Amino acid sequence: MSIFKRSKEKKRVLVVEDDEMLSNALVTIIEDSGYLAEKVENGLEVLEKAGTFNPDLILLDIILPGLDGFGVLKELKNESKLKSIPVVILSNLDKPADVKSVKILGAVDYIIKARVDMEEVVKIIKKYIKK
């Protein structure tokens, strides 16, 4: 695929969330905002899906089955093909140590689920990827 052709496609967001209702809602609002969205519910599936879906941004929960968000983030940042993808954490963990840890691991932002609405999530996505 040429760079020119890829630039005309919709930008892609990978949603990594094990709560099916929330992940479906996120995919819907993201797609309604003009992006393509895919979801995975297990931390072990993220690298494979990211490698095939080629997301422009990853929304990543921390508490996940298989491999938690900390482990997923480490793996993403160790993969040369994936390490430049911006990762936004979307979690209910709100300890300053958790926020600091994911920022050190390479996350670009941290959203507390309980304190944000869907429109705010879209604004944050737009902040890190341009259509």
Residue 57 has pLDDT above 50, yes or no: yes
What CATH number does residue 99 fall under? 3.40.50.2300
Helices first, then strands: H and E counts in the chain: 6, 5
Residue 131: which pLDDT band, with cuts at 50, 70 and 90? low
Residue % of the chain over a pLDDT of 70: 93
Residue 37: which pLDDT band, with cuts at 50, 70 and 90? very high
**Average pLDDT of 44-69?**
96
Number of folded domains in the chain? Answer: 1
Residue 3 has pLDDT above 70, yes or no: no
73-116 pLDDT tens trace: 999 999 999 999 999 999 999 899 999 999 999 999 999 999 99
Give the pLDDT score at 130: 75
Here the tokens at position 66 are 């298989």
Range of the domain at 93: 3-128
Give the pLDDT score at 2: 44
Cβ neighbours of residue 46 closer than 8 Å, sequence gap 6 or more: 14, 16, 40, 58, 60, 67, 72, 75, 76
Amino acid at the residue 34: G
Residue 19: which pLDDT band, with cuts at 50, 70 and 90? very high
**Average pLDDT of 29-47?**
96
Give the pLDDT score at 8: 67
Residue 16 has pLDDT above 50, yes or no: yes
